[in-house]
Structure 1
Amino acid sequence: MSIPSRSSTATSSVGRVAIIGGGIGGLTAAIALRQRGIDAHVFEAASALGTAGAGLWISPNAMQLLQRLDLAGAVIAAGVPLGRAEVHDAERGLLQRLDFSDASQRFGVPTVAILRHRLHAILAARLPNDRLHVGAPCVSVTTTHGVRAHLADGRTIDADLLVGADGLRSVVREYVSPGVAPRYSGQTSVRGVASLALPPSLAGVSREIWAPGRRFGFSAVAPGEVYWFATFDAPPGIAEPPAESAHHLHALFDRFPPPVSDLIETTDDARLVRTDLHDLPRLATWHRGRVALLGDASHATTPNLGQGAAQAIEDAWVLADRLARSVSVEAALREYEAIRKPKARFVVDRSWQVGRLAHLSNPVGRAVRNLALRCTPASVARRQLDRVYVLDY
């Protein structure tokens, strides 16, 4: 199929845009493009949008962009604004407290905890039904006769620009930067949503608890619903039946402080999601000709900074903005990379470091880490957050 030409109101040099991948980044890119009068179609491999994953935190850098897209209010209403984040040692107690209210006041938007499928629904509702194509997995990309995506059912999609927002195992990336393999962190995760009301002391709090080789984090995402994750050292590729995963979690975290055991206990085993944690080596380029990458397809990160979705949203905004402003698609893609690469690389590198730090097993290393976190001044923590939260576009 050939995507219809762009609206006559568009001022961009790009006409037909095909986005491969209907995740948060792909949907946000389509919304941002439409805001600028550029039409885009989204092609998602799954048979339905937003069926995977559990919960996530949307930080102020992403919330500022959702506000520009007139989506921030809906996201806040569907989630829980967070007032602070805490890091605890399982044995030694509180190590660090981060005040989110300060960032909320300075940037005009909160950090929001939300279920992934609710965010997907908010984004999808902003796009016409005929711009979302599900059950449409892309198997390859060619550029012999323009830009063309080949779908698994034999259809071909012709476009002026193809955007690969198809995640860690991106098919589109294989065209842009062939042979790049994800890097396994040595850690796997199990995520769930518990049917539990947290005590008032934990309202609006995101808490992580660290122990040798494992950690546990949680926050409320709605009244009576708590998103949680458990991360632990493990070989890659291990598949466990849900009941066995739950049993394993109880064994790993039974000595963690409340409400960890209750969260595991009140979660439906069948809804547990296990994911090995990977990131990507740095790519030399995020585009080739008129094929570009976005989000995890270009800079997948481990989730230790809670920035995966936020960085994809930043990509989507900058890509759409550059396409609307630049004299050519090629110039827009060069500018997009130049703007986005530095922060994306910082997030990937810093997230990897935090993952290693959180799982330290050596007692001396843990003691040094704990002391460093306790002694970090609030002003230093604020500067570190601002390196991610501040937008310069």
Structure 2
Amino acid sequence: MTTLRKPPVRSHRTPAPKMNLADIVETLADGRVPVRFTAYDGSATGPENAEIGLHLTAPRGTTYLATAPGDLGMVRAYIAGDLQISGVHPGDPYPVLRTMMDDVKLQRPSPAVLAQITRSLGWELLKPVAPPPQETLPRWRRIANGLRHSRTRDAEAIRKHYDVSNAFYEHVLGPSMTYTCATYATPQTSLEDAQEAKYQLVFDKLGLQPGMRLLDIGCGWGGMVRFAARRGVHAIGATLSAQQAQWAREAIAAEGLTELAEVRFMDYRDVPETGFDAISSIGLTEHIGIDQYPAYFATLRDTLRPGGRLLNHCITRPHNDRRVKTGQFIDRYVFPDGELIGSGTIISEIQDVGLEVRHEENLREHYGLTLRDWNRNLVEHWDECVAEVGEGTAKLWGLYMAGSRLGFERNVVQLHQVLAVKVGEKGDAAVPLRPWWSG
């Protein structure tokens, strides 16, 4: 005898109501929205009297946020103009970044809530759209430019970041045209004095004297090269940026330093001279790639004379965990293929090629102050910078520098100078018994 089964009882629960954009923001922020948020759908949340406001202006911005959760989606919406900020200058969005970091803790929605958000947005808003033109391809798609840290791809990455516009950099960096961490006597020290002090610190640590030979790799616009040449040192700089090299050559000629200073548009590995008294690497190691450190430091060792010194100055992490990767914002918009690691790894790699480490120090607070001053310059010259590179790129730089400032202040990243020497055959390091510099 066949038993007939009753059909299953179907639930007739009313679907959860659709959420507007402000509802979604409140849900993801667990109700803690410290800024005033408004959106094109007419919804709003957060204190009405908040000093800082965020306004989502168009559906494309929602797509950016929904299809690339986290910093990448927000950057896309902001750079494209779909997410606007009020209460702060676009050249220095530091206050809003600090507020978001301190007061907003995004929640991971449950599957049910995620389904409700998805239904509320609709599938049309969840179809990816092209990112802003300032964004480069993800790492896995850059293979057309060669393997990561091949010469071709390194050169392309350098051009992406540094060949923006010399005029733009002049506005942001100021007269020193120095795009590396300065050293400040006090927080009130001017940017120019702090950059001069940084060059003096490097010069003194390297023990440079008139008539000596210096190689400055990744020399930028030739700041260290010209500083050394003014003091009688024969200095050669190498950079992979053609725009930097051209600017540096003109500056060298204008100062009458051509007998002592030279900047080459060249990979540092192709510099034919050896036997240098000193090598300065200021802000280059970030671009090298951690797996390339042994070859990098071996090349520098072989380029020094016995008793010669190396000063390696670079951004680092506060740990040596190689599993931590560069965030998508920095990798796609700022430093393609850039890699950071802790100072311990850098010191170990220097030692492993036979150089002797004599001193290291962390200057991370100084980089926070340097970035503060670069943001101030961008604000002061905002109209000129926008005219030079466009509003989207100018906003990108304001965001990148303000975010980096916060990173140095909160010990997310650091800045280490490591001083090493190529000892002689009998172990002579040719250095004084105690530190011989000030600052």
State the TM-score, normalized to the length of structure 1: 0.24
State the TM-score, normalized to the length of structure 2: 0.22
- Largest Rg, 1 or 2: 2
Higher RCO (Cα < 8 Å, 6 or more apart): 1
Higher helix share: 2
